[in-house]
């Protein structure tokens, strides 16, 4: 009887040793494996980097036979200039070497150069209207302002342009995001409410918000054409009570 129990006990002991050794090997393998990062555990980007708008070449501007797509972040700033001679005539056959760009007295390289000829298809425009509604603006002035803005937009009808409307006084409000719907724009102008007792004119805050709206929300192309972008700010006074410093703008 004891002889029959000994092999059985040995088998159990060997099985226990095998299981314990296997467990050690498994633990060692797990320690050597690289950590698995789940999507929800991915490292968070800094808030400023997450808010930074991505500047990438739109897909519809790439050639149809392009096999690869490259997307890069860049701080490229577009500048539209008109070059004329002393008599006011446009200068022809310009090359990148004919132009120099200075910022605060420091020459900057030209990363991109393109000539747009007069008489060609007019480029569309994205415009943000930032309008002062502080207490110093009278109702009559506001009515004249709306008439002037409507006239301004009619002159850009042939460019397939889009517009956004903001108001500012003691606070900045977005009344209408980018659209070319005339009825929506008229309703936005109807929402312009004069701040009867507003004593502050947050012009720098409005300029900062308008530029951010333009960069982040304006369409980059319409009908496969790059848009020109502009902020039109109208105010009758000096900035008062801003939270944004002039240097930021």
Structure tokens at 162: 């889009």
Q: What's the predicted TM-score (pTM) here?
A: 0.57
Domains in the chain, number: 1
Question: What is the pLDDT, as a whole number, of residue 225?
Answer: 77
Question: What is the pLDDT, as a whole number, of residue 192?
Answer: 86
Taking Cα atoms as reference points, which of 230, 229, 124, 127 lies closest to residue 178?
127
- Domain assignment present for residue 114? The answer is yes
Q: pLDDT tens digits, residue range 203-234?
A: 999 999 999 999 899 988 887 777 889 999 99
- Domain assignment present for residue 121? The answer is yes
- Domain assignment present for residue 49? The answer is no
Sheet holding 162-168, edge to edge: 172-179, 162-168, 125-132, 228-234
- Domain assignment present for residue 113? The answer is yes
- Domain assignment present for residue 89? The answer is yes
- Domain assignment present for residue 44? The answer is no
Question: What is the pLDDT, as a whole number, of residue 187?
Answer: 92
Q: Are 235 and 203 in contact (CB under 8 A)?
A: yes
- The CATH number covering residue 75 comes to 3.40.50.410
Tell me which residue has tokens 């207490």. 135
Q: Give the chain's residues under pLDDT 70.
A: 1-76, 117-120, 194-199
DSSP calls for the chain = -HHHHHHHHHHHHHHHHHHHHHHHHHHHHHHHSPPPPPGGGSPPPPHHHHHSPP----GGGS-TT------------------B-TTSPBPPS--GGG--EEETTEEE---------TTSPPPPEEEEEEEE-STTS-HHHHHHHHHHHHHHHHTTGGGT-EEEEEEESSSEEEEEEEE--HHHHHHHHHT----TT---B-HHHHHHHHHHHHHHHS-SEETTEEPEEEEEEE-SS--BS-SS-TTT-
C-alpha 96, offset from chain centre: 27
- Domain assignment present for residue 9? The answer is no
Domain interval for residue 173? 56-234
- Domain assignment present for residue 32? The answer is no
Residue 156 β-bridge partners: none
Mean pLDDT taken over the chain: 74
């Amino acid at each position: 009887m004891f002889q029959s129990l000994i092999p059985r006990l040995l088998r159990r002991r060997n099985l226990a040793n095998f299981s314990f050794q296997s467990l050690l090997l498994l633990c060692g393998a797990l320690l050597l494996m690289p950590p698995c990062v789940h999507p929800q555990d991915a490292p968070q980007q800094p808030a400023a980097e997450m808010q930074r708008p991505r500047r990438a070449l739109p897909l519809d501007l790439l050639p149809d036979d392009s096999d690869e797509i490259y997307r890069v972040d860049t701080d490229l700033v577009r500048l539209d200039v008109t070059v004329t001679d002393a008599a006011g005539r446009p200068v022809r056959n310009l090359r990148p070497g004919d132009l120099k760009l200075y910022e605060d007295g420091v020459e900057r390289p030209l990363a991109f150069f393109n000539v747009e000829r007069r008489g060609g298809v007019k480029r569309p425009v994205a415009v943000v209207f930032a309008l002062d509604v502080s207490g110093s603006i009278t109702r009559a002035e506001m009515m004249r302002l709306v008439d002037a803005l409507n006239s301004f937009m009619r002159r850009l009808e042939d460019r397939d342009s889009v517009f956004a409307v903001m108001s500012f006084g003691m606070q900045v409000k977005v009344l209408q995001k980018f659209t070319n719907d005339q009825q929506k724009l008229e309703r936005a102008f109807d929402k312009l409410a004069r701040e009867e007792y507003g004593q502050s004119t947050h012009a720098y805050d409005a300029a900062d918000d308008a530029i951010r709206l333009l960069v982040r929300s304006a369409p980059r192309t319409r009908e496969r054409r790059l848009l020109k972008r502009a902020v039109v700010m109208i105010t009758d006074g000096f900035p008062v009570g801003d939270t944004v410093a002039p240097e930021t703008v």
